[in-house]
Amino acid sequence: MTDPWWLVLVKAVAVFAFLLLTVLVAILVERRVLARMQMRRGPNRVGPKGLLQSLVDGIKLALKEGITPAGADTTVYRLAPVISVVPAIMAFAVIPFGPEVSIGGQHTTLQLTDLPVAVLYILAAASIGAYGIVLAGWSSGSTYPLLGGLRSTAQVISYEIAMALSFTTIFLYAGTMSTSGIVAAQEGRWFVFLLLPSFLIYVTAMVGETNRAPFDLPEAEGELVGGFHTEYSSLKFAMFMLAEYVNMTTVSALATTLFLGGWHAPWPINMWEGANSGWWPLLWFTAKVWGFLFLFIWLRATLPRLRYDQFMVLGWKALIPISLLWVMIVATARSLETSGHTSPWVTSVSGLCLVIAVMVGRRASMRPIPKLNRRLHPTYVNPTAAGFPVPPLPGQRVADPVIIIRWEDVDA
């Protein structure tokens, strides 16, 4: 990059402002959309039609009293929110917003900077951000945050492997790890159509990577009170929320860059000659990012939280093996394509067949539960024997309560 220092500063401030504005709007949109999906009203009191609700919530959190637990490791406890939010913002530095434009008489691309290994840089930043959650759970000196931090560790390890494997196929076809180079390789041919299994794997992994429902196991309000941020309040809690929504924006922008052509206009807008020049691509890029943000909101309103064993099975027994198989298929097809034996759409057809095979296999594995042999005598259990009510298992019946009457309790 050959931009002067003042232009680098302007672009850095613009990226930061874009992220903050997106977070404020995303919180408000999420609350309104969830309310609409659940047939209720969302925020409608603060500002015209509730438009200032996110701003007021941020100010309220900043002005609240910050409480540090007595048993916490104070230094790590205060540093954890910073470790979460800073890498989330830094990862956006290599995301291309648009082509070359003129700013103050200087011709520059709508991208803060670019690297030959830009995608690996984003993966590294995301991995560092996970340390904030782990350290927050450990340093709080409490049981539930510690469990949330341990869950986050397993979650990041499980789903970053599948995410990295989905990137491998992109590198094979783009021939580069640079984000701007990957966008240029998709001119006229988006990778979402060519590499559909990689796209589906990445979308699943990005939801797990950002700890969003139905993969919000490090928080799990019904199980861990609040998870890793149970002992946080005031501005430190607000920083965790900021990191979550910035991460959502970052992975959405990365999905747009890698699979949806980046800032290139979609069809049929791309038939217009000036659709991919000037400042118009910034509009297409923002619209694609908001499409993924809406997907996050839709999943939260629709799907219940997965059990932890289901979550691990999905990551280790489904996503990772399918990713490895798909990488081998793409590598073989790409090798044949470069030697002139096949066309690029052979990979697309292979990916579609893989998706159909996985869906059919999943359907076949969901066998109906066999009916219980009613001739067997059922086992009677006491649902409160452990001190708390436990529902009976299949084949068990709840024993009738035994009422013991003492003679001294009987009125003469």
* Tokens encoding 99: 């082509």
Strands (E), 80-210: 98-103, 106-110
What's the pLDDT tens digit per position in 141-191? 888 888 888 888 888 888 888 999 999 999 998 989 999 999 999 988 899
3-class SS at 394?
coil
The answer to whether the beta carbons of residues 28 and 43 sit under 8 Å apart is yes
The Cα–Cα gap between 40 and 301 comes to: 13
What residue type is 349 in one-letter code? V
What's the pLDDT tens digit per position in 280-306? 999 999 999 999 999 999 999 898 888
| H, E, C per residue of 239-280 | HHHHHHHHHHHHHHHHHHHHHCCCCCCCCCHHHCCCCCCCCH
Q: What is the pLDDT of residue 366?
A: 58
3-class SS at 109?
strand
What's the pLDDT tens digit per position in 19-50? 999 999 999 999 999 999 988 888 888 888 88
> In angstroms, what CA-CA distances link 108 with 4, 11, 81, 93, 254?
10, 10, 34, 15, 21
Judged against a pLDDT cut of 70, whether residue 400 lies above it is answered with no
Q: What is the pLDDT of residue 364?
A: 66
What's the pLDDT tens digit per position in 71-103? 888 899 989 999 989 998 998 999 999 898 988
* Residue 374's pLDDT band (cuts 50, 70, 90): very low
Beta bridge partners of 321: none
Mean pLDDT value across the chain: 85
Q: What is the pLDDT of residue 267?
A: 84
- The Cα angle at residue 142 between residues 137 and 146, in degrees rounded to 5: 35
The Cα–Cα gap between 197 and 219 comes to: 29
Strands 379-381 and 106-110: unpaired
Q: What is the pLDDT of residue 220?
A: 76
Q: Which residue has the higher pLDDT, 326 or 403?
A: 326
Block residue for tokens 């759970």: 137
* Residue 1's pLDDT band (cuts 50, 70, 90): low
Positive or negative CA dihedral for 187, 192, 197, 198? Answer: positive
Q: What is the pLDDT of residue 410?
A: 53
Question: What is the DSSP secondary structure assignment for residue 64, as one 8-state letter?
Answer: S
Q: What is the pLDDT of residue 311?
A: 85
Q: Which residue has the higher pLDDT, 402 or 161?
A: 161
% residues pLDDT > 90 (the chain): 33
CB atoms within 10 A of CB 76: 14
Residues 6+ positions from 284 with CB-CB distance below 8 Å: 263, 264, 265, 266, 269, 275
Lowest-confidence segment of 96-110, 208-222, 243-257 by average pLDDT: 208-222
Judged against a pLDDT cut of 50, whether residue 246 lies above it is answered with yes
Lowest-confidence segment of 129-138, 278-287, 394-403 by average pLDDT: 394-403
Backbone angles phi, psi at 110, to 5 degrees: -80, 65
Mean pLDDT on 353-359: 83
Q: Which residue has the higher pLDDT, 411 or 247?
A: 247
- The Cα angle at residue 206 between residues 357 and 277, in degrees rounded to 5: 100
Q: What is the pLDDT of residue 377?
A: 47
Backbone angles phi, psi at 380, to 5 degrees: -95, 130
Query: Which run of H or E residues covers position 381?
Result: strand 379-381
Q: Which string of b and e fits 53-65 if b means at least 16 CB within 10 Å?
A: bbeebbeebeeee
CB atoms within 10 A of CB 362: 10
What's the pLDDT tens digit per position in 310-322? 888 888 888 999 9
